[in-house]
Chains A and B, each alone.
Chain A
Amino acid sequence: MSGLRILVPVKRVIDYAVKPRVNKAQTAVETAGVKHSMNPFDELSIEESVRIREKKTYPSGVEDILAFSCGPPKSADILRTAMAMGADRSIHVEVKEGEEPEPLGVAKMLKAVVEKEKINLVFLGKQSIDDDAGQTGQMLAGLLGWGQATQASKVTFDGDGKGVTVEKEVDGGTETVKGVLPMIITADLRLNEPRYASLPNIMKAKKKKIEKMAAGDLGVDVGRRLKTLKVIEPPPRQGGGKVEDVDGMISKLKELGAI
């Protein structure tokens, strides 16, 4: 039984607190000059991986935590953050801004990394908050033929070093499944509370290694299958109708046919 070799894919996205704006040409969301940060769900997967190491919850320990990102040069910042939180090293597949592969392409890249780096656990976020696709983890599990547990809120390991019990968030409550390593797990919001990287750890992370690659280096086809024809702002809502009191609210709701 060997230790865990964990792969944590992370994505650089527009910060969750920023309200995105559609560009004038209606081709995409404006990203220039907008604050970016690590996809919130990916922070949870890094945090969980580091906790497995710190709390020694896996019997033979954690051998390696490898962060991965496919994105523009600035994605290196996100990888530094991941390493400051506790990842050991990183792989950065550099692509041009706006030319990030789709989930299927990313999953194919991750499969190549899994095989090359002898990974036995991949921890992903359940979705990226920009594309909201929620596909990459499941696609990777399908490509590898591994078990998957999505929207995880709790992960525990058996003493035998094989079994993994995962509590998942599902419609209407939670569900618990048991899988065996190697496995794919995607993190839900309630998995943990990610830490802030401390200054000493940020300094240490600067010495950790980022291996740079081009999309072609992993030998997979990451061509796009979906063409974005148009991106528009959603129709604005006419809000702002305030009433004075509860009676006013009731009569307005009746008027609108809502009650």
Chain B
Amino acid sequence: MISRSGISVLRQARTQLRTAGPTPVASLSALARLLSSLAVLEQKDGKLNHGSLGAITAAKKLGGSITGFVAGGNIKGVAEEASKVSGIEKVISVDNSAYDKQLPENYAPLLVENIKKGGYTHIIMGHTAFGKSLMPRVAALLDVQQISDITAIEDEKTFVRPIYAGNAIATVESSDNIKIITIRGTAFAAAEAEGGSASMEDGVDSKAESTTEWVSENLAKSDRPDLATAGKVVSGGRGLKSKEEFDRIMLPLADALGAAVGASRAAVDSGYADNSLQVGQTGKVVAPQLYLCAGISGAIQHLAGMKDSKVIAAINKDADAPIFQVADVGLVGDLFDKVPELTEKLNK
């Protein structure tokens, strides 16, 4: 029990401490020295996923030190690859094949242990399927309100993110001590895979058990570029009428342009294209140099996934389709005539 006079002495001491403490940081560059970001990088089958290097780019914008984190079986090669990424200072790796299958139940406690040990101020990861399933779990374990799918960084606590399917852009300020952020891949280009020379360190392995186990996966195989990162995307909608027509009309056009293939929800729901090709609010968000779509009307939910493309081109027989309001190049016509003609002329 502290006596009344004791309390007042304590209070006095505290006041003195406050005035004697460091003066408030004035410049952002001084503050940057206090920042330390952990970029959570993804790997698959012993290969670093270069798409996940956008997290490093975001960390660079914040300033401060950048540490990369990788986990999985035989992780050395991945860690070495990550250590060469430009801008990275340290790579923490945890070698345990239990983390290969990206199960949030054991990966989240692993990340939390390493975050606590490293004392990072910012934890950054791509808003990918794994990032989406993992980071909120990590945030809850740390009692932090995550900031999802950001498209810009204003300062160390202020972030910009689209809401309402991209129909509004919100700027939010976080009051949490640790900022947990997922980034929109199209807004932060992957950092250069060369030029860095980070130190390497083993992380803490929390060895948490997962109640969930991985059973199997069924990934669509394709030689075409990956939809999320492709420079060009051709996309088909309900207007294609069947899977056979979708394949017959859209795939040669994709090949002529060296483009990835996307689809609207209508096309995916009708079975014309695989689910993983869906572009939109609930599918993939893309921002290629060229987005060329045919037979897509341009619903709000679809526009959410592609309206940040540099050039949008549309072919549709309905001159009033909303897609023409955002398209830089619009062609009114029957896609069954126009697309093959376009393919043929591009191939020349």
**A residues adjacent to B (C-beta < 8 A):** 14, 16-17, 19-20, 22, 29, 102-104, 107, 126-127, 129-143, 146-151, 153, 165, 168-180, 183, 188-190, 224-234, 237-250, 252-253, 256-259
Q: Are B274 and A177 within 8 A (Cβ)?
A: no
**B residues adjacent to A (C-beta < 8 A):** 103-105, 108, 128-130, 132-141, 143-149, 158, 162-176, 210-220, 226, 228, 232, 257, 265, 269, 274-276, 281-282, 284, 289-290, 300-301, 307, 310-313, 315, 324-333, 338, 341-342, 345-346
Q: Are A250 and B342 within 8 A (Cβ)?
A: yes
Q: A177-B213, A239-B325 are in contact. List 10 more A-B contacts (CB 8 A).
A: A134-B148, A142-B141, A151-B133, A170-B217, A177-B212, A224-B145, A227-B175, A231-B169, A234-B307, A259-B290
Q: Are B163 and A174 within 8 A (Cβ)?
A: no
Would A247 and B133 be within 8 Å (CB), given that A104-B145, A146-B211, A241-B328 are in contact? Answer: no
Q: Are B328 and A104 within 8 A (Cβ)?
A: no
Q: Are A143 and B140 within 8 A (Cβ)?
A: yes
Q: Are B217 and A227 within 8 A (Cβ)?
A: no
Q: Are B171 and A229 within 8 A (Cβ)?
A: yes
Q: Are B282 and A180 within 8 A (Cβ)?
A: no
Partner of A132, one of B144, B163, B171: B163
Task: Enumerate chain B residues within 8 angstroms of A229, measured Cβ to Cβ.
Answer: 158, 171-173
Q: Are B146 and A133 within 8 A (Cβ)?
A: yes
Q: Are B210 and A131 within 8 A (Cβ)?
A: no
Q: Are B163 and A131 within 8 A (Cβ)?
A: yes
B299 to A, closest residue via Cβ: A17
Task: Enumerate chain B residues within 8 angstroms of A142, measured Cβ to Cβ.
Answer: 108, 136-141
CB distance from A32 to the nearest CB of B (A): 15
Would A132 and B290 be within 8 Å (CB), given that A138-B133, A172-B219, A248-B331 are in contact? Answer: no
Would A237 and B331 be within 8 Å (CB), given that A165-B215, A226-B175 are in contact? Answer: no
Instruction: Name which of B275, B324, B338 has the most chain A CB atoms within 10 A of its CB.
Output: B275
CB distance from B166 to the nearest CB of A (A): 6
Task: Enumerate chain B residues within 8 angstroms of A135, measured Cβ to Cβ.
Answer: 136, 139, 146, 148
Task: Enumerate chain A residues within 8 angstroms of B134, measured Cβ to Cβ.
Answer: 138
CB distance from B272 to the nearest CB of A (A): 14
Task: Enumerate chain A residues within 8 angstroms of B289, measured Cβ to Cβ.
Answer: 257-258
The complex places the Cα of A104 from the Cα of B216 at a distance, in Å, of 31
B301 to A, closest residue via Cβ: A16
Partner of A242, one of B282, B290, B324: B324
CB distance from B274 to the nearest CB of A (A): 7
The complex places the Cα of A230 from the Cα of B163 at a distance, in Å, of 12
CB distance from A161 to the nearest CB of B (A): 15
CB distance from A15 to the nearest CB of B (A): 11
Q: Are B164 and A29 within 8 A (Cβ)?
A: yes
Partner of A241, one of B172, B330, B333, B342: B330
Q: Are A234 and B146 within 8 A (Cβ)?
A: no
CB distance from A204 to the nearest CB of B (A): 31
The complex places the Cα of A17 from the Cα of B329 at a distance, in Å, of 26
A-B contact pairs, 21 of them (CB 8 A): A22-B168, A29-B164, A104-B144, A134-B132, A170-B130, A172-B276, A173-B218, A173-B275, A176-B215, A176-B217, A234-B166, A240-B324, A240-B330, A241-B328, A242-B324, A242-B331, A246-B338, A249-B342, A250-B342, A253-B290, A253-B313
